[in-house]
Amino acid sequence: MTLARFRPSKGTLALGALSALAFVVAVMRYAFGLRAISNLSDGYPWGFWISFDLLCGVALAAGAFTTASVVYIFDLKRFNPLLRPAILTGFLGYLMVIVALLVDLGRPERIWHLIIFWNPESVMFEVGWCVMLYTAVLALEFSSVVFEKFGWRRLSALHRYVTPALVILGTLLSTLHQSSLGSLFLAAPTKVQPLWFSPWLPVFFFLSAVAVGPAIVIVESFISARVLQRGLETELVGELARAIPLALGAYLILKVFDLTTAGEWGSAFQGSTGALFWLEIIGGVILPLGLFALPSVRRSDARLFGAALLVIGGVVLNRFDVSLIGWARPAETWYFPHWMELAMTAGIVAGGVMVFGLVARYLPLFTPSHAAEPAE
């Protein structure tokens, strides 16, 4: 470590090592096939990557569209300081989803086929187009940071002009994408546990994404305040958190309505899936709903952070329950992620964190975007 200009911290070195390991795993996967690095099988065609990297990854990228719509659709410009990091988190989240898909897809070199071969009957068709279009929208939304860094005034002015339209488009695509991930499982009514299968799956996925969006912004602000030694805008973050009980409340009401009309309350008191259901509903919905409704929680950094983690934990558990844990397994099949599946995910996330750190260091990430100025 004699280099004067580049001296990575221990944290950066660890992240770099994780990414390097994931790169080796990816090479093995491309050379020898998915079985070489995963426990995926014909009984479990989707595993940890789909549950975590795709379903949780997209849900946890929801901070971008929720914050952007607060600032540009509800015109609450005071939340502007939170916007750029939220968009970056969402953008990197989507890039990580795409990287994970390039590992998980059987034929990643054909991912572009979704552009030329259409099946509008397929939910996956909608998912594919949403990933593609919304990633592009996030890149455009984020581009203002680059324009500002290099002082490209005319591009910045153009960006300012189109941003409201871009945010509406992004919110629309996010609504479609978040809900369509739930709709994916509508095609498997006999395979998803009755506690989680519902014709309302797309609405559940959307509502939980709206709830987890501000929670991610809280966590991301909290961590970057610590790591980058900035002050946390507690007041502002706490105010944003007021949206969470609304979304969680709507989710809870719909869940009660759905289980009652489906007559499935009995399954909630059976076996380990019933226990998981209550863990998700009490720990991830009811408890944070109550906590975020308390002003004392919204005024404290640590309590905000803790309550946000509950929401995130609830959503992660829900996505796993729908797609993996509550999955009807064919006889004699079994799945637990291979350590290399986990290493792949860890490496992708580490890469995302490193890029976030680089952007925070070299680009004007924490200055409020131009929206604070009059748009007209």
Could you tell me the smallest distance in angstroms from the CB atom of residue 43 to other proteins?
7
Cβ–Cβ < 8 Å for 102, 95: no
Query: Could you say whether residue 78 binds other proteins (CB under 8 A)?
Result: yes
Q: How many other CB atoms are there within 10 angstroms of residue 208's CB atom? A: 26
C-beta separation of 304 from 234 below 8 A: yes
Q: Which is nearer to other proteins, 187 or 253 (CB)?
A: 187
Shortest Cβ 241–other proteins spacing (Å):
15
Cβ pair 104, 37 in contact under 8 A: no
Backbone angles phi, psi at 337, to 5 degrees: -55, 135
SS3 content of the chain, % helix, strand, coil (to 5): 75, 0, 25
Q: Tell me, by CB under 8 A, how many residues bind other proteins.
A: 78
Distance, in Å, from the CA atom of 42 to the CA atom of 324, rounded to the nearest integer, reads 14
Residue 75 as a binder of other proteins (CB under 8 A): the answer is yes
- Written as six digits, the tokens of 5 are 């200009």
Q: Indicate whether 21 belongs to the interface with other proteins (CB under 8 A).
A: no
DSSP 16-38: HHHHHHHHHHHHHHHHH-GGGT-
Q: How far is the CB of 152 from other proteins (least distance, A)?
A: 23
- Residue 9 in contact with other proteins, rule: CB under 8 A: no
Nearer to other proteins, 195 or 237 (CB): 237
Question: By CB under 8 A, is residue 35 in contact with other proteins?
Answer: yes
Q: Which of 6, 117, 334, 362 binds other proteins (CB under 8 A)?
A: 117
Nearer to other proteins, 46 or 152 (CB): 46
Contact yes or no for 166/140 (Cβ under 8 A): yes
Q: How far is the CB of 131 from other proteins (least distance, A)?
A: 11
Q: Give the footprint of other proteins on residues 213-232 (CB under 8 A).
A: 230-231
Answer yes or no: are the C-beta atoms of 167 and 83 closer than 8 Å.
Answer: no
What CA–CA distance (Å, rounded) separates 247 from 204?
Answer: 10
Nearer to other proteins, 14 or 187 (CB): 187
Angle between helices 80-104 and 201-227 (to 10 degrees): 110
Exactly one of 48, 52, 72, 356 binds other proteins (CB under 8 A); that residue is: 72
User: Among residues 25 and 291, whose Cβ is nearest to other proteins?
Assistant: 25
What residues numbered 118-177 form the site for other proteins, per CB under 8 A? 118-128, 164, 168-169, 171-172, 175-176
Structure tokens at 203: 């609405």
| The one segment of 74-82, 91-99, 247-255, 305-313 that binds other proteins by CB under 8 A | 74-82
**249 lies in the binding site for other proteins (CB under 8 A):** no
Cα angle 111-40-284, degrees, rounded to a multiple of 5: 90
Piece in contact with other proteins (CB under 8 A), picked from 107-115, 148-156, 265-273, 355-363: 107-115
Binders of other proteins among residues 303 to 342 (CB under 8 A) are 330-333
Residue from 204, 196, 199, 200 nearest 326 by CA: 196
Q: How far is the CB of 286 from other proteins (least distance, A)?
A: 28
> Based on CB atoms, which residue is closest to other proteins, 228 or 294?
228
Query: How far apart are alpha carbons 160 and 166 in whole angstroms?
Result: 10
- CB closer to other proteins out of 146 and 236: 236
